[in-house]
């Protein structure tokens, strides 16, 4: 799979130019989008997740037109937004099962299998009967990944997932992402240099809506 973003621009009604002619070619594997607060990362991530439209430009996931074929994209998309609400009184296992229903996994047996596999993969199997309100920040983020991975997405978008995590949780979370394999496009947005240098095979630096540099992580970070 290749995600091709070409000349994407977005100006908000208040005049903020959040994205200026963004062009990126993103292959399979872990791709880092590094930039400070306000750089335009969330705007780009929401656009890729078909939640908002740019003013100009085109985005293709292989031959799928992301901006017009939203149904097709959503079938193959996993998105972990920067801030996501969870139902604090729901148990992890029950809520994941519910999201699996929404994803169209209708048979109980199939859901049982998927939910168990994802809770094990995200190291939450032991916690499956706990309420989400009792989860730590890291556990919530790992649960968010489990939700995002329902339906085996070919495009996984995670927006600043390490922001509120303590160092141990951060390492655990990054290890989880790195184990996702090379068969899908995974885009990680972050303002933390180490997130990309430790994890990503390719990266871009974004600032004030513009791509400053696209490179292999170590080289780009050395030049900062
Ligand atoms: P990042 O995720 O890198 O912090 P954002 O994409 O959230 O960047 O924001 C880029 C710029 O666009 C910022 O100046 C932000 O204040 C502005 N912005 C984001 N969303 C909106 C919005 N809905 N309306 C107006 N301005 C916005
Ligand atoms: P980020 O941490 O990615 O920069 P923000 O805190 O900028 O995210 O944005 C949080 C929410 O507020 C988003 O939905 C964004 O679209 C909206 N937002 C951000 N800046 C503005 C703004 N200047 N005017 C209106 N909405 C905004």
CB atoms within 10 A of CB 86: 16
Segment (H or E) for 121 = helix 108-121
* ipTM of the complex model: 0.79
Q: What is the pTM of this model?
A: 0.89
Question: Is ligand 2 within 6 A of the CB of residue 164?
Answer: no
pLDDT tens digits, residue range 159-193? 999 888 888 888 888 888 887 767 789 999 999 99
pLDDT tens digits, residue range 97-139? 999 999 889 899 999 999 999 999 999 999 999 999 999 989 9
In terms of C-beta distances under 8 Å and separation of at least 24 residues, what long-range contacts does 120-128 make, across chains too? 121/146, 121/149, 121/176, 121/179, 122/146, 122/176, 123/172, 123/176, 124/92, 127/92, 128/91, 128/92, 128/93
Collapse the DSSP code of 19 into the 3-class scheme (helix H, G, I; strand E, B; otherwise coil) and give the result. strand
Question: Is ligand 2 within 6 A of the CB of residue 83?
Answer: no
Cα 119 to Cα 147: distance, rounded to the nearest angstrom = 10
Length of the chain: 224
40 Cα–ligand 1 center, Å:
6
């Amino acid at each position: 799979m290749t995600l091709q973003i070409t000349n994407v621009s977005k100006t908000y009604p208040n005049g903020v130019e959040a994205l200026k002619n963004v062009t990126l070619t993103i292959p399979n594997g872990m791709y880092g989008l590094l930039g400070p607060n306000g750089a335009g990362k969330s705007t780009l991530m929401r656009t890729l997740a078909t939640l908002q439209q740019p003013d100009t430009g085109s985005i293709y996931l292989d031959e799928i037109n992301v901006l017009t074929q939203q149904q097709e994209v959503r079938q193959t998309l996993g998105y972990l937004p920067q801030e996501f609400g969870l139902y604090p009184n729901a148990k992890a296992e029950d809520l994941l099962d519910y999201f699996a229903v929404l994803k169209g996994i209708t048979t109980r047996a199939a859901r049982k299998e998927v939910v168990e596999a994802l809770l094990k993969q995200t190291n939450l199997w032991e916690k499956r009967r706990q309420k989400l309100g009792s989860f730590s920040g890291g556990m919530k983020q790992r649960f968010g990944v489990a939700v995002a991975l329902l339906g085996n997405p070919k495009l996984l978008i995670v927006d600043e997932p390490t922001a509120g995590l303590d160092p141990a949780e951060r390492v655990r979370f990054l290890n989880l992402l790195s184990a996702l394999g090379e068969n899908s496009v995974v885009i990680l947005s972050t303002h933390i240099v180490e997130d990309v240098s430790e994890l990503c095979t390719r990266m871009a630096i974004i600032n004030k809506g513009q791509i400053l540099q696209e490179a292999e992580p170590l080289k780009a970070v050395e030049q900062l």
